[in-house]
Structure 1
Amino acid sequence: MSPVPSSLVDAGVPGGRPLRDVLPAFALDVVLAVVLSFSAMLLGLLGWAAWRGVQLARTHGGMIDAQALQANVGAPPVLFLIVATLVSTGGTALLLYFWRRRATITEQKQSRANTRLPRTWFWALAAGISTFLFSAVMSGCGRALGLDLEPSNLDVIKAGFAQYPVFLGLFAVVLAPMYEELLFRRVLFGRLWHAGWPVLGLVLSSLVFALVHEMPGLNGKPLASTLFLVLVYAGMGAMFAGVYRLTGTLWAPIAAHILNNALALAVLQIYGQTQA
């Protein structure tokens, strides 16, 4: 796994702050995450569209009307979409970590100490396997009910793996788990946990994690299928948050998330389907 600074992990001790003080900060974290990641993605798409417009204009000798431009711009290539996701969401996670929830020296030391405990990696292994089995069982139940449980990003994943298998594997198995755990567990769950509200933090951060993956009304799926997927992703997020709290180091949920994604990607390649 690619190394990251030890300051990206922490243990921390809950502080017991009033909910009226910590909830606005949590809400601001969520708003900033949505605005920053969406803005970065939108800027990237606009930049790509502008570049394509210049290419088309040159192809047509500098003369192309708006309707022809719109018809010929096409969809961004899969590599662009993957890199744009990495930059927008990963960049947002790093920014919010350093800006809003940077680990103290004490937290960093405690986290490093916890990574040396065998039980940390036992719980990470157990969480990774349990998360995968949970999603597999839930997917089987959902499909038995006739629900559409293909993740919204499945087409991009398949296309990316077909064209850039090494990069897609690195992105899906290593990079995405790292920035997702940094954002959803360290920044969001960690804020409420360390303020003395771990259960509420687990519920809210897991719900945000689920909605980022499958947003009702925006993923083109029936409501029942979307709500089922939200439940599955929320359960996965709760497991990652639980192992973070249990071990006191962000490296544990990162490892669990990596294991889950690696198993899911292997299933996709072997059987041609994912576990939600």
Structure 2
Amino acid sequence: MGSVAGFAIDLLLSVVLLAVFVMAGGVLWGMLQGLRGVPVEMDAGSDAMIAITLVGTGLGALTVYLLRRRATREECAASWQALWRKSTWLAILAALLATTGFSMLVGLLAQQLQIEMTPSNLVLSEAVAEHPFLLLIFAVLIAPAYEELLFRRVLFGRLWAAGRPGLGLALSSIAFALVHEPPGLGASQGWNMLMLWAVYAFMGAVFAAVYRRTGTLWAAYAAHALNNLVAGTALFASL
């Protein structure tokens, strides 16, 4: 029961810190705009608010990692060494094929059922069109880093270390899906939302499985980054 309680504390702490950092970022941005004499328009779709949300999310995840499950030097060294095994890169490749294949299958099913899948991160499309390389760097290099620290190292890792990896995989994957598509707050609803939850939960489960199998968070990060690279390339092609 202690490990589950620890998981709940970690998740609650991450949500609170996310809200605090995003709110603080919004206030700071508003103050800077005021000092410049620029009218403040808190438009949720603006580049400024997108940037504040992304940075706030990253700071929240990093803070939880540092406070709750910071890796030791020995763990970091072993993780880096495990990254260069052939079996690790085979697991990364298998994860990429699994996540992209599952996403394609769900997309095809949605087309057959005439369900329009509208992920909440489509709000980034306009920003991607204006700053393609900047957003690609963020999506491929930065976002997977803090998401792996939070969802795999902290959340999944806590229950894995407690001898309950199956429960950790399930709970962290559900949390991963809900954070990407928060019910009632995102653009999706109904079957659209359920299908997106399935896609994100599957991704979270695959990344957790790669982390456990290889013993290195670098493998989960690489699989996540490659998945985002494929998705980002497809988004660019559609713009």
Q: TM-score, normalised by structure 2?
A: 0.92
Give how far 1:78 is off.
4.1
Q: Give runs of aligned pairs for residues 166-177 of structure 1, distance below 5 A.
A: 166-177=133-144
* 3-state SS of 1:153 partner: helix
* 3-state SS of 1:73 partner: coil
**2 CA distance for matches of 1:145 and 1:50?**
48
Gaps in structure 2 of 5+ consecutive residues: none
Q: Give runs of aligned pairs for residues 1-276 of structure 1, distance below 5 A.
A: 20-52=1-33, 58=37, 73=41, 75=43, 78-156=46-124, 158-272=125-239
Give how far 1:190 is off.
0.5
**2 CA distance for matches of 1:150 and 1:220?**
7
Give how far 1:218 is off.
1.3
Q: Greater helix share, 1 or 2? A: 2
**2 CA distance for matches of 1:259 and 1:183?**
18
**Which amino acid in the other structure matches residue 239 of structure 1?**
V
**1 CA distance for matches of 2:73 and 2:143?**
26
**1 CA distance for matches of 2:48 and 2:137?**
15
* Structure 1: 4+ residue segments shifted above 4 A: 50-55
**2 CA distance for matches of 1:105 and 1:24?**
27
Sequence identity percentage? 45
Q: 1:74 to 1:182 in 2, by over 3 A?
A: closer
**Which amino acid in the other structure matches residue 174 of structure 1?**
L
Give how far 1:93 is off.
1.6
**1 CA distance for matches of 2:146 and 2:215?**
18
Larger Rg: 1
* 3-state SS of 2:163 partner: coil
- Deviations along 1:242-263, one digit per CA (max 9) or x if unpaired, are 1110100000010001111111
Give how far 1:155 is off.
2.4
Report the more deviating stretch, 162-171 or 135-144.
Answer: 135-144
* Preserved CA contact (<8 Å) 1:209 1:234: yes
* Preserved CA contact (<8 Å) 1:216 1:227: no
Gaps in structure 1 of 5+ consecutive residues: 1-19, 60-68
* Preserved CA contact (<8 Å) 1:217 1:223: no
Q: 1:77 to 1:145 in 2, by over 3 A?
A: closer
Q: 1:181 to 1:74 in 2, by over 3 A?
A: closer
* Preserved CA contact (<8 Å) 1:192 1:198: yes
* 3-state SS of 1:119 partner: helix
**2 CA distance for matches of 1:22 and 1:206?**
16
Bigger relative contact order, structure 1 or 2, given CA contacts below 8 A and separation 6+?
A: 1
Q: 1:113 to 1:54 in 2, by over 3 A?
A: closer
Give how far 1:53 is off.
5.1
- Deviations along 1:155-207, one digit per CA (max 9) or x if unpaired, are 22x11221111211100111111111111000100010111000000000000
**Which amino acid in the other structure matches residue 25 of structure 2?**
G
**2 CA distance for matches of 1:215 and 1:197?**
26
**Which amino acid in the other structure matches residue 129 of structure 1?**
L
- Deviations along 1:101-148, one digit per CA (max 9) or x if unpaired, are 011233223212211211111111221222111111112212322223
* Preserved CA contact (<8 Å) 1:129 1:259: no
Give how far 1:45 is off.
2.1
* Preserved CA contact (<8 Å) 2:45 2:123: no
* Preserved CA contact (<8 Å) 1:52 1:73: no
